[in-house]
Structure 1
């Protein structure tokens, strides 16, 4: 008995069809389906990447707008509320035309943070000057001011008498009854605006006229300057 076996697979001369188990599948159809799937996969990846890029750009634009509007760095506002004489002692040596003087000034400051975020300031200094020479200093320790808050500072500047011994104009000033002093306060720190740190510096200078006869301040002129 002879059994005829059908070929498991046969291909036509042009190789476009495959017969297997009684069925036929077009090779062109398989290849075109794979290409379509690849194209669809690439298209999905492209849309995902484009969406991520647009999302990142949108976030960056929003942060940039906020940084230049709502969260824009503003300088701290230092205000001198008052300056009063705490202590004043004068010893005149008429024969030698010399004077020994001790002066202490109480300065009431207000430091306001107008920013939407906290302001941290470093160790700062307030100084007392007589005719352009530093004759007293007061250290201001580092601290932090919350957003939109105002803190008060009480500073006592004491004149160092030994720094005035070589100044020949001191005697004539005391004899005239008026002595001009200057106070200088510099406060520097940083404001964190989103992901950035902005350095801000505030300067305050006050010219004070001290009446040594009635031990009072007769005139005061303050100037303010800020830098970002």
Structure 2
């Protein structure tokens, strides 16, 4: 009996050691090692949208395109992270930039933790309930603004949502909601809604992530623990 227990303990220790070794040596590049390299056209817009994402952290924006204009900055919304709205005449875009997790904002923690497992179904999959509520509130607040700016811009304009960290999750679900109700936000075609997010948290099930690959582009540098 003692011998069998000892063998079981050894197997358990070996299994835990193997798991810990693989976890500690795993890098994000392991997931994508078989993927093709991104083309220049795929990546060219990313640095520009990273700057817009950074701009959501302060009304004193980093150096953006000379044709980008700050339309609105909301520093303390009650049901979403802070955000900014820009127009860019050169690229014909309305950009909604959502800030990431604010360590001193209690609202952000409540938003992040509002996600009982399996509690929020959406379009045949599951999404993060708190992030969906924030995205819904954000569009309720700014949907009319986006529609007005899109109508003023014309049919060649597009609505782009960007974000980092917690804001990336809100941005992704904002884009999903907008893509499912194009007319409400002044869009006629699905390709007029785009989303570029940096280090996003897990906010939707795999089936939804695959369904919206034409809308959402996410950027992760190596491994992300989100």
**TM-score bracket, shorter-length normalisation:** under 0.3
User: Rg larger in 1 or in 2?
Assistant: 1
Query: Which structure: greater helix fraction?
Result: 2
TM-score (norm 1): 0.23
TM-score (norm 2): 0.23
